Amino acid sequence: MKTFLLSSLAALTVITGCSLFTPPDARNAKKRPAAPSPLVVRVLPSQTYQTMHSFGASDCWSAQFIGLNYPLAKREQIADWLFSLDTDAAGNPKGIGLSLWRFNIGAGSTEQGDSSGIKSPWRRSECFQRPNGTYDWSKQAGQQWFVEAAHRRRVPYLLGFTNSPPVQFTANGKAYASGKLGDYNFNRQKLTEYARFLTDVADYFNREGWPMQYLSPFNEPQWDWGIKKGQTMATQEGTPATNADMAELTRALSQELTTRNVPTRLTIGEAAQLNYLSQSGTNRSQTNQDDVINALFASHSPAFIGNLPAVEPVASGHSYFTTSPVSKLESVRRDLASALQKAKVPFWQSEYCVLGDNDGEINGSGRDLGMTTALYVARVIQADITLANATSWQWWLALSPSNYKDGLIYVENNGKMGENPTNAQNGDIMASKSLWALGNYARFVRPGMVRIALETSPTTPTDAPQLSAYRSQDGKQLVLVVVNPGQERPLQLAGLPPSVRQLAVYETSATANLRKRTVSAKNLTLAAQSVTTILTTL
């Protein structure tokens, strides 16, 4: 467990990534504001906050097809974009260097076919265990290809997560639930068998040489995961669960992992919204599905699991539906930081993409490969890290075929998007600006780095650049990430050692994908509508 230092919520005036966001396409280009004065930034390396763990993304659901069917050259290109730490001859990164990969442990709806009750084959998953209890480790082959590709590219962490128990362990024999809040779709007589199954899966990956360091057995337990009104089939595998349900399985899993000396650690929570982690009295109170941090990590709670030997003391949750407007973005994360500080556990933001209409700021529907979505996502990353003190930040779909803002990399065939048979076999692959913007963090803010304080002057209420700073474990390297939603702006780094004359700058903008340039420490300009990472020594 890395050292975890919480920030004071009453710290110095620090840019934390919560300035108002104005999409570039919403500005009137005919009204050019006056050239801005330089933004002066002073880092404060002795004032430290959290130790960073990882940046990640998940293989749901497209990897099962792309990893199995697409030509090898395309698969390797995708893997390079996601995982590579290499650079080209000019020093430009070939990929974003994710440090965590999320593997979806399937529940067996694929084997059930249309009788699974899940409409799209893209949303179904294979299961390693046959109904008779034997195993077929050749299942999920496409997903396993990406696990191996990540391992070859030195991705340090692998996390296995479930949406539903295998269908042979569920109450209704399906991988989706009844549609009633809190109704855990699980046959409790199968508790021992289910704990054994998940431990077997973790042990398999460990024996293959692809260590599964973490196991997350619940996903968004606050949703009902049933067939929606007006529909005849479910949308994906999933089940609700109460805090007591999570505690019961976690205890059984911890015992199984410990008894068998499987070193995989359990990460619990994956709350559907951040407020369900930290708040009581929500619309999930009556079903015992909120106030998750206190329920699971307060020693007096009946559901306390914080002392179990296989449990990683970390609370995980998803940033969905809490990012707009800015007042909610800020207040939800400050509440969460307070609850985490009281419980003395760190926080992983373990799933996010752009969903919903976000109070008119941005809409999840409609694929966007450009900077509008990338800047919005970067704002969320900044807020989760600097306000909620996230030590890990993880994206939802690494690969998407859909006309939606849910992917880092998109696939389509002859210009046609969608979860169709053609896209499952082959297609064009396209890297989004959101991929590269995430790379401004993932590629450079490496596991073990410590977030540090910074001061800025002057600041403006709108379109102000949003910053976060990190130093390496040995204290010698500085990483500064700057999200600039506004116009081009000069930036000055104050307080650097006199020996620092040049800076390595990596820019993601409309014309650049983590493009490297070397600039004078006295002559740095942020591109308009950009995410920039600056590297130097301390």
* Crossing angle of helices 326-343 and 371-386, rounded to 10°: 30
Same domain, residue pair 510 and 429: no
Does residue 195 form part of some domain? Answer: yes
> For a pLDDT cut of 90, what percent of the chain falls above it?
90
Check whether residue 47 and residue 58 sit in a common domain: no
Is the confidence at residue 360, as pLDDT, over 70? yes
pLDDT at 24 over 60: no
Q: pLDDT tens, 55-98?
A: 999 999 999 999 999 999 999 999 999 999 999 999 999 999 99
- Look at residues 296, 204, 299, 309 and name the one whose alpha carbon lies nearest to residue 241: 296
Task: Check residue 14 and give its pLDDT.
Answer: 42
pLDDT at residue 8 tops 70 = no
DSSP 118: B
Alpha-carbon distance of 475 to 3, in angstroms, equals 15
Helix 141-152 and helix 72-83, axial crossing angle in degrees, nearest 10: 50
344 and 394 inside one domain: yes
Contact by Cβ (8 Å): 115, 173: no
Please report the pLDDT score of residue 373 as a whole number. 98
CATH code for position 67: 3.20.20.80
**pLDDT at 30 > cutoff 60:** no
Nearest to 366 by CA among 399, 400, 323: 400
Q: State the Cα torsion 271-275-278-284 to the nearest 10°.
A: -70
Identify the domain boundary among 442, 474, 490. 442
Q: CA nearest 487: which of 20, 17, 34?
A: 34
Torsion of CA 122, 124, 126, 132, to 10 degrees: -160
Based on the domain organization, do 72 and 30 belong to the same domain? no
d(CA 288, CA 280) in angstroms, rounded, equals: 9
59 belongs to a structural domain: yes
pLDDT at 461: 55
Q: What is the pLDDT of residue 496?
A: 87
Q: Can you give the CATH number for the domain in which 457 is found?
A: 2.60.40.1180
Q: What angle do CA 106, 108, 110 make, to 5 degrees?
A: 100
Q: Within this chain, do residues 216 and 259 fall inside the same structural domain, yes or no?
A: yes
Residues 335, 412, single domain; the answer is yes
Considering only CA atoms, which of 330, 377, 325, 384 is closest in space to residue 354? 377
The structural domain count of the chain equals 2
Domain edge (last residue) among 442, 459, 484: 442
Nearest to 494 by CA among 451, 464, 536: 536
Looking at residue 464, its pLDDT comes to 87
On whether residue 8 sits in a domain, the answer given is no
Average pLDDT rounded to a whole number, residues 409-421: 98
3-state DSSP helix/strand/coil percent for the chain, to nearest 5?
30, 25, 45
Specify the length of the chain in residues: 538
Q: How far apart are CA 378 and CA 393, in angstroms?
A: 11
Average pLDDT, the chain: 94
Q: What is the pTM of this model?
A: 0.93
CA angle 54, 149, 83 (to 5 degrees): 40
3-state secondary structure of 413: strand
Mean pLDDT in residue range 502-513: 97
Beta partners for 397? 58, 407
Residue 18 in this model has a pLDDT that exceeds 90: no
| DSSP states along 156-219 | -EEEEEESS--GGGSSSSSSS--S-TT-----GGGHHHHHHHHHHHHHHHHHHT----EEE--S
- Asked if residue 489 is part of any domain, the answer here is yes
For residue 32, the model assigns a pLDDT of 61
Indicate whether 282 pLDDT > 50: yes
pLDDT tens for residues 209-268? 999 999 999 999 999 999 999 999 999 999 999 999 999 999 999 999 999 999 999 999
Where in the sequence is the domain holding 141, given as residue range(s)?
Answer: 54-442
**What confidence tens digit (pLDDT) does each residue in 294-329 have?**
999 999 999 999 999 999 999 999 999 999 999 999
13 pLDDT above the threshold of 60: no
H or E element at residue 513: strand 512-520
Q: Is residue 18 part of a domain?
A: no
Give the pLDDT confidence score for residue 23 in this predicted structure.
53
Average pLDDT over every residue of 337-345: 98
Q: What is the DSSP string of 429-483?
A: EEE-HHHHHHHHHHTTS-TT-EEEEEEEES--SBS--EEEEEE-TTS-EEEEEEE
* Whether residue 405 sits in one domain with residue 528: no
Same domain, 477 and 359: no
Residue whose structure tokens are 């707009």: 324
| Same domain? 95 vs 71 | yes
pLDDT at 463: 72
Query: Which of these three, 442, 463, 487, is where a domain ends?
Result: 442
Residue 14, domain member (yes or no): no
pLDDT bin (cut points 50, 70, 90) of residue 462 is: low
Place of tokens 């479930």: 162
Residues 271 and 394 in one domain: yes
DSSP state of 30: T
